[in-house]
Structure 1
Amino acid sequence: MATTLRSIKSLVPLLDRVLVQRIRADTKTASGIFLPESTVEKLSEAKVLAVGPGGVGKDGKRIEMSVAPGDKVLIPPYGGSPVKVGDEEYTLFRDHELLAKINE
């Protein structure tokens, strides 16, 4: 049986999982030309929406997460677990699957 989420706020990642939403690529150039969706590359930037408490190491101690809600990160172009809430798409990754944190 499928579960339908009413709001993304009701989704809380477990252990070392990170909930992200991809940042959409611009479909318009700086000069105002609109680009067809087929030519726009799928960006690998995402915004972190929620993080789990962290994994547990072999010694039983909690391993701290490397990102926090609000961070921008680079994610692999494939992988993760997709989550759809209404018309919005999100992805769950494990903390170690994230490629980099973007400091602005």
Structure 2
Amino acid sequence: MASQATFKSIKSLVPLLDRVLVQRFKPETKTSTGIFLPSSTTNNPLNEGTVIATGPGAPNKDGQVVPTQVKTGDRVLLPSWGGNAIKVGEEEYYLFKDQEILAKIQE
């Protein structure tokens, strides 16, 4: 199980090295026509999210900083496991290493 930290403001959190702060998309609980979906169909977190902040990157074996592959605002595909949960008020965010992010979703 991922560890969880709590903060008062998301702006107080600055990822270091190759860490990426992501907010997972929330599953829809109601259809466009107003029908509520049963919790059995909404209890699995989606594996997509939005990048909120990134660290500057991590040094490679030669000491040169390799920037993260994603940037703030990118829509990404996430693994169903891992990440460190961070709670800000009622919102939940996750910190992943850049290499754990599976793909960038182009729109």
Superposed pair shares fold, TM > 0.5: yes
| Secondary structure in structure 2 of the residue aligned to 1:96 | helix
| Secondary structure in structure 1 of the residue aligned to 2:11 | helix
Query: Which of 88, 92, 95 is residue 95 of structure 2 equivalent to?
Result: 92
**Aligned residues: percent identity?**
59
Work out the number of aligned pairs and report it: 102
* 1:37 counterpart residue number: 39
Contact 2:54 2:71 in 1 (8 A): yes
- Note the C-alpha offset of 1:25: 1.3
- Note the C-alpha offset of 1:30: 4.5
Query: Which of 74, 88, 105 is residue 71 of structure 1 equivalent to?
Result: 74
After TM superposition, the score normalised by the length of structure 1 is 0.90
After TM superposition, the score normalised by the length of structure 2 is 0.87
Structure 2 residues without counterparts, runs of 5 or longer: none
Q: RCO (CA 8 Å, sep 6+): is it higher in 1 or 2? A: 2
**What does 1:1-104 align with in structure 2 at a 5 Å threshold?**
5-40=7-42, 41-104=44-107
C-alpha root-mean-square deviation of aligned residues, in Å? 1.5
Structure with more strand by fraction: 2
